Structure 1
Amino acid sequence: MSTTQPRAERASQARLAAARLGAEGVDGVVLGWVDNAGITRAKAVPVRQLEHAAEWGVGASPCFDVFLVDDSMTSSPFSHGPDGDLRLVPDLSRLSRLAAQPGWAWAPVDRYAQDGTPHPGCQRRFARRMAEALERRGLAVRAGIEVEWVVTDAAGAPPTDGPAYGMHRVTDLSDYLRDVLRALTEQELTVLQIHPEYAPGQFEVSLAAEGPVEAADTAVLVRHTVRAVSVRHGLRASFAPAISADGVGSGAHLHLSLWRDGQNLGEGGSGPYGLRSEAESFLAGVLAQLPALLALGAPSVASYLRLVPSRWAGAYRCWGLENREAALRLITGSTGAQANAEIKCFDGAANPYLAVGGVLAAGLAGLDAGHGLPAEVHGDPAALGTVERLPTALPEALDAYEKSVMLREALGAQLYAAVLAVRRAEAELFEGRSAEEIIAATRWRY
């Protein structure tokens, strides 16, 4: 159900959905959105109030546009003080009963002004606007966001000491991982794979590709689900970029492919590894804007504790076929339909709607420019000494963000300013802090 539907139509669909949920034992519906600090915020209504929420929205202050990771607030030219109100309107096309939270359902929201006009600071609508701009060109993007997390016991220790990527970890936590799979499947999400990762207690789950806004919705729902399953097993899940100062962090790699008329433009062309010209220009636009895009996709001070060379984090501004050290990894897949690109430098501190929308905007700029990709990089860029390093700290990414006319125009003045204000305030908040202090302050926020 689109939130642009007439109120009466939204109410009618919500009435049916509420009756179904009530029959399934659901008592409350969480209405969630992700703020500019990457924190998922929520309000909830009794299931019998879902119809009213869908018709009229639920009130929420505009001040959430300038919340920081520690729940303090900053201000921007458009967002300041206690005044004003917005309406949270649930998108019932993504309404899901939460399998690991009995009695609860969830739906993402779009945010509107009191007069019913779209809120210029709504990150989810930004992602949708960029997807619609592609659609007007006859193009579509299929996307998926890998979800990585670290799970600990109540004392903060990994619940398994098995080796990286090892079956030992799957055995030790087989009941836990089974319940994650069951909950995701019950919520009608298509899991492609789930496996142990490199760091102690670290796991990853990958979901089937879908539209870009839908992929961002799914990433949010997966994190809710993993966290809820973890709680039920007496465990705690963190999606933070860094858990330890000297360890490998957790990413939120964005996979995407460009399509026209049912054809994957990542294969069958004359460009590198079969890229068609539109796909190559799209990826060239993303690569050109990566330093500025880090302000959206690697937005935390903690992000730069993860984004270091030789850890498969994508710390260099380059691309390569199946090169896990390149920020942009090209994947041809076993069939042409599977060809896609992976952006490796993004992490779980990002608002996924901002990250997806920013990448689409950069790709659109690349299509307009018609540029091709630069020379491919083979091997570890750190060993070459000639490849440009991506920003090594949040202030550097902010410098690139402020210089990006493309992002300023794509985001719009209000959302652009709010993101900038939050990033600046968080950079100041953690200025002079040690890596250990930054991790301690952010580990359980994401």
Structure 2
Amino acid sequence: MGTPEREQAASAARQEAARLTALDIHGIALTWVDTAGLTRVKAVPTARLAHAARWGVGMSPVFDVLLSDDSAVTSAHAGYPAGDPRLFPDLDRLTVLAAQPGWAWAPADRRAQDGSPYPACQRRFARRMTGLAAERGLRLRMGFATEWTLTTRPAAPGETPTAPAPVEDAGPGPAYGMTRVVELSDYLGDVLRALSAQDVAVLQLHPEYSPGRFEVSTAAADPVSAADDVVLVRETVRAVAARHGLSASFAPVGRVGLPGNGAHLHLSLWRDGKNLCRDGGGPGAMTPTCEAFLAGVLRELPALLALGAPLPASYLRLVPSRWAGAHHCWGVENREAALRFVPGPPDDPEAANAEITCFDAAANPYLLTGAVVAAGLAGLDDRLTLPDPVAGDPADGGVPHLPTSLPAALEHFGRSVVLRAALGDPLFEAVLAVRRGEIALAGEQGPQDLADALRHHY
């Protein structure tokens, strides 16, 4: 990033700052997602946006190896107090926050002080994998279906003379029940209005299984934009909840024994304007390119689980017969398969896609989208084909499980030549260190204690 690029960025930022000031926006949240999946932030006044765009905002490299409780571990490449990489706002994604008056948001890329790429930048990793696919003439479209649990907020200290009321699920009605939408129509309406104002295209919004759980699906975009969108969705849902006196949690599990919060990743492959997930001679009418790509993803799923189900508590969600994708298989329109292929209506060229159901909402979306692309491209290189699809409940047919614990998933991740090569040693080693740290942090805690410890972190 040389002097001309810095000056150009600063000039563009000055124009944006003038626009935002006219809108009474005084603070801009610059976010990145750490290896543990938590969205971190440094905020700057609007008047400092041009400086941030030119020189970046300093942040410690320790954030690469922070755990979910804000303690830190070390890896071979990160975790030390020295160093000052910089956060550079992506002005193309600068967004006025509809549920946080006076605030705007921009995702940040991380660079070294001289402007060179920071090797552990997860957003850059997703962009780099997207570029490798583009070099093959492939355009990836991805979108997340994000689930969260909505609860009442306990009274703040001093608000009542007695002990605060216990936290309760907001909207205890049935799954997919209109009663829950009626009870929370003001809140859900504000979520939709805020996302629309922020140019996030919503496809669906509905109550999910378990009291207080909801899901929102957003339109497909390129992998980096899809990851940006899910960060914006989560923080918007959270902000709207706060304005309604509620609390939104994206932790993998709220109450043990009930379905948890997933983050299903939908994807399709395109070349020259044609959806490669349809009109082919392969299984489910997919093209050979689509089949090889998905076969690569399926092969790497046990290792990908260390990215997409990143916490010990994540495996409390991965229970068979709960649509959580607990089995290592694929199926056509099978919601129990970890990899679900959806041919869609025959006359809708955009509908055909694949859905990965085993990931949860604690995952870093940039690591996830980039790693899925890397796994798919490796499948193309190896000319893989898919095994026979599973038609019924995999639990009834002896289909193997995906790893049932984070240590088991981490063993697969540690052996993955594909993911190590794609991520590079700094990112790969950071993931290993953080996941080992989370395993040690969990210790001998009981299942509900694990879930409770994460409720207000995600």
Common topology (TM > 0.5): yes
Residue 323 of structure 1 aligns to a residue in which SS? Answer: coil
Task: Summarize the alignment of residues 175-190 of structure 1 with structure 2, pairs less than 5 Å apart.
Answer: 175-190=186-201
Specify the alignment match of 1:149 in structure 2: 148
Unaligned stretches of 5+ residues in structure 1: none
CA drift of 1:147 comes to 1.1
- Distance in 1, Cα, partners of 2:384 & 2:375: 12
User: Is the contact made by 1:3 and 1:110 (CA closer than 8 Å) also made in structure 2?
Assistant: no
Deviates more, 1:14-23 or 1:98-107: 14-23
The equivalent residue for 2:438 is 426
Aligned partner (choices 224, 228, 234) of residue 213 of structure 1: 224
The C-alpha deviation readout for 1:9-30, integer Å capped at 9, x for no partner, is 1111111111111111100000
The CA distance in 2 between the partners of 1:3 and 1:284, in whole Å, is 41
Cα 1:91–1:389 change in 2 (3 A) is: same
SS in 2 for 1:93: helix
Pairing 1:276–2:276 present? no
State the AA in 1 paired with 2:285: G
* Normalised TM-score (structure 2): 0.96
Partner of residue 108, structure 2? 109
The SS at the match of 2:350 is helix
1:76-95 mapped onto 2 (5 Å cutoff): 76-95=75-94
Which amino acid in 1 is paired with 2:214?
Answer: F
TM-superposed CA distance for 1:160, in Å, is: 2.1
Contact 2:29 2:105 (C-alpha < 8 Å) held by counterparts: yes
CA contact (8 A) 1:36 1:65 kept: yes
Paired with 1:113 and 1:415, the residues of 2 have a C-alpha distance of 15
CA–CA distance in 2 between the matches of 1:8 and 1:438? Answer: 48
Letter in 2 for 1:72: S
Cα drift, residue 4 of structure 1: 12
Task: Tell me which amino acid in the other structure corresponds to 1:11.
Answer: A
SS of equivalent residue, structure 1 residue 69: coil
Equivalent in the alignment of 1:73: 72
Residue of structure 1 equivalent to 2:39: 40
Alignment of 1:23-422 (within 5 A): 23-154=22-153, 155-334=166-345, 335-385=348-398, 387-422=399-434
Q: Which amino acid aligns with 2:119?
A: P
Q: Which runs of 5+ in 2 are unaligned?
A: 154-165
CA positional deviation for 1:81: 2.3
Partners of 1:160 and 1:178 in 2: how far apart?
14
Instruction: Calculate the TM-score normalised by the size of structure 1.
Output: 0.98
Partner Cα separation in structure 1 for residue 273 and residue 29 of structure 2: 35
What is the alpha-carbon distance in structure 2 between the residues aligned to residue 159 and residue 326 of structure 1?
Answer: 30
Against the structure 1 CA distance between its residues 101 and 341, is the aligned structure 2 distance closer, same or farther, given a 3 Å change threshold? same
Amino acid at match of 2:440: E
Q: Is the 8 A contact 2:123 2:367 kept in 1?
A: yes
Distance in 1 of aligned mates of 2:449 and 2:186: 34
Aligned partners of 1:147, 1:86: CA distance in 2, in Å? 31
Report the identity percentage. 60
1:257 and 1:3 mapped to 2: Cα distance? 36
Name segments (4+ residues, structure 1) moved above 4 Å.
2-5
Q: Which amino acid aligns with 2:376?
A: G
Distance 2:89 2:291 in 1: 36
Helix, strand or coil: the match of 2:294?
A: helix
Structure 1 residue 359 displacement after superposition: 0.3
Aligned-pair distance for 1:336? 2.8
Checking the alignment, whether the CA contact within 8 Å between 1:286 and 1:362 is kept in structure 2 is yes
Instruction: Give the root-mean-square deviation of aligned CA atoms.
Output: 1.2
Letter aligned with residue 352 of structure 1: P
User: One-letter code of the match for 2:69?
Assistant: D
CA deviation profile, 1:227-280 (whole Å, cap 9, x unmatched): 000000000000011001111101000000000011000011110121111110
Distance 2:418 2:443 in 1: 28
User: Per the alignment, in what secondary structure is the counterpart of residue 192 of structure 1?
Assistant: strand
Deviations along 1:213-239, one digit per CA (max 9) or x if unpaired, are 000000000001000000000000000
The whole-number CA distance in structure 1 between the counterparts of 2:344 and 2:5 is 43
Q: What's the secondary structure of 1:76's corresponding residue?
A: coil
> Secondary structure of 1:408's partner?
helix
